[in-house]
Amino acid sequence: MPVKRRIKAITFDLDNTLWNTNDVILAAENALYSWLKEHATRLTDRFNPNDLRAQRLALIKRKPDLSHQISQLRIESLKLSLIEVGYNKSESGKLSTLAFDFFYAERQKVKPFPQVEKTLATLKKHYHIGSVTNGNANLTMVGLDKYFDFSLSAEQVGANKPSSKIFGAALHSANCEKHELIHVGDHPIDDIIGAKDFGFHTIWVNYAMNEWDLEEKPTQEVKQFNDLISAITTIETNLDNAY
Ligand SMILES: [Mg+2]
């Protein structure tokens, strides 16, 4: 008799779950600053990378909707800074778009953790696989798109994790019941509490070996990506035993 799978779909957070992100973003911002030194000297004469970062944060405060449109946020913030240092509107528009395209390509230079590709290939044979990110990683540019049946970002959906809106969109794409989906991610609130409150099973990837200090707990926890398949099997087995 074929195995009855209780779980139909698995969704993944991307940044800091499938790869380390922070160093890559920092490197991309530095590379962008070098690019700007060449193409927008008036801007770099006046502002350093920290200034540009502070300007983005200030813009989110003025326009909170941009917090889930992080690509647009970078473009708009840069455009305003370019205007401030004397570029006209049209130059600023063009430069900010070109600068973002440069940053975006650099930002995709992430290196998936060693077991990620092999694990995804195995999981794809049995489950519907999706990604749910607040960021702007591009799975095609990263080279992992062939393992994913669907990809959702806060920018597309118009809401960040932990909002139920983005997990609702994931459920719709996964085309299964809430209790048939496991969400995997590193962020205690955005990934684990958000997905759990929505009704999904959850696996917390805890590479930093932090203590879990919230009242609601993840369904399973892994300390390395390698342990993911056995955590999924444990969830399936526990569900089987509950029947
Ligand atoms: Mg993450």
- Backbone phi, then psi, for 168, in 5-degree steps? -65, -40
Are residues 173 and 152 in contact, defined by beta-carbon separation less than 8 angstroms? Answer: yes
Q: How far is the CA of 184 from the centre of ligand 1 (A)?
A: 9
CA of residue 218 to ligand 1 center, whole Å = 15
Same domain for 122 and 84: no
3 state DSSP class of 38? helix
In a shared domain, residues 141 and 237: yes
- Shared domain for 231 and 128, answered yes or no, is yes
CB-CB contact of 235 with 219 (8 Å): yes
Cα 186 to ligand 1 centre (Å): 5
Q: Are residues 120 and 222 in the same domain?
A: yes
Cα 183 to ligand 1 centre (Å): 12
- Distance (angstroms) between ligand 1 centre and the Cα of 86 equals 37
Query: For residues 26 and 148, what is the distance between their CA atoms, to the nearest angstrom?
Result: 27
| Whole-angstrom distance, CA of residue 118 vs CA of residue 8 | 19
Domain C-terminal end among 58, 89, 107: 107
Are 229 and 130 in the same domain?
yes
User: Is residue 212 located within the same domain as residue 119?
Assistant: yes
Could you tell me if residue 4 is inside a domain?
A: no
Decide if 109 contacts 28 (C-beta within 8 A).
Answer: yes
- Angle, helices 49-62 vs 22-39, to 10°: value is 110
Query: Phi and psi of 72, rounded to 5°?
Result: -60, -35
Do 28 and 16 fall into the same domain?
A: no
Helices and strands in the chain: count of H runs, count of E runs: 11, 6
Task: Say what the pLDDT of residue 124 is.
Answer: 97
As for how many domains the chain has, the answer is: 2
Pick the last residue of a domain from 107, 122, 147.
107
Q: What is the 3-state secondary structure (H, E, C) of 210-242?
A: CCCCCCCCCCEEECCHHHHHHHHHHHHHHHHHH
243 CA distance to ligand 1 middle (Å): 33
Torsion angle, alpha carbons of 155, 70, 194, 212, to 10: 150
Task: Output b/e per residue, 46-61; b: 16+ Cβ within 10 A.
Answer: ebeeeebeeebeebee
**Ligand 1 geometric centre to CA of 40 (Å):** 32
CATH number at residue 191: 3.40.50.1000
CA 190–ligand 1 middle distance (angstroms): 8
In a domain, 2, yes or no: no
Q: Compute the distance from residue 193 Cα to the ligand 1 centre, in Å.
A: 13
* Domain annotation covers residue 148: yes
Domain annotation covers residue 3: no
CA–centroid distance, 175 to ligand 1, in Å, is 23
Per-residue pLDDT of the chain (243 residues; tens, 9 = 90+): 455 789 999 999 999 999 999 999 999 999 999 999 999 999 999 999 999 999 999 999 999 999 889 999 999 999 999 999 999 999 999 999 999 999 999 999 999 999 999 999 999 999 999 999 999 999 999 999 999 999 999 999 999 999 999 999 999 999 999 999 999 999 999 999 999 999 999 999 999 999 999 999 999 999 999 999 999 999 999 998 887
Residue with tokens 């459920």: 171
Would 76 be classed as within a structural domain? Answer: yes
- Residue 14 sits in the same domain as residue 134: yes
42 and 89 within one domain: yes
Residue 215 belongs to some domain of the structure:
yes
Distance 63 CA to ligand 1 centre (A): 23
Task: Find the 54 Cα to ligand 1 centroid distance in Å.
Answer: 22
Asked, for residue 185, whether it belongs to a domain, the answer is yes
- Looking up residue 59, the CATH number of its domain turns out to be 1.20.120.1600
Beta-carbon contacts of residue 46 (< 8 Å; ≥ 6 apart): 85
Q: Residue 71: inside a domain, yes or no? A: yes
Distance between CA 224 and CA 205 in Å, rounded? 7
- The residue range of the domain holding 88 is 23-107
Tell me: do 225 and 139 sit in the same domain.
yes
Last residue of a domain, one of 107, 129, 158: 107
The alpha carbon of 91 and the centre of ligand 1 are apart by a number of angstroms equal to 35
| Residue 3 confidence (pLDDT) | 58
**Do 228 and 169 fall into the same domain?**
yes
Predicted local confidence at residue 140, as pLDDT: 97
Going from the Cα of 28 to the center of ligand 1, the distance in angstroms, rounded, reads 18
Taking alpha carbons only, the member of 101, 99, 109 closest to residue 25 is 109
If asked whether residues 121 and 224 sit together in one domain, one would say yes
Task: Tell how far the Cα of 87 is from the centroid of ligand 1, in angstroms.
Answer: 36
Q: What spacing in Å lies between the alpha carbon of 214 and ligand 1's midpoint?
A: 17
Task: Find where tokens 């990683």 sit.
Answer: 137
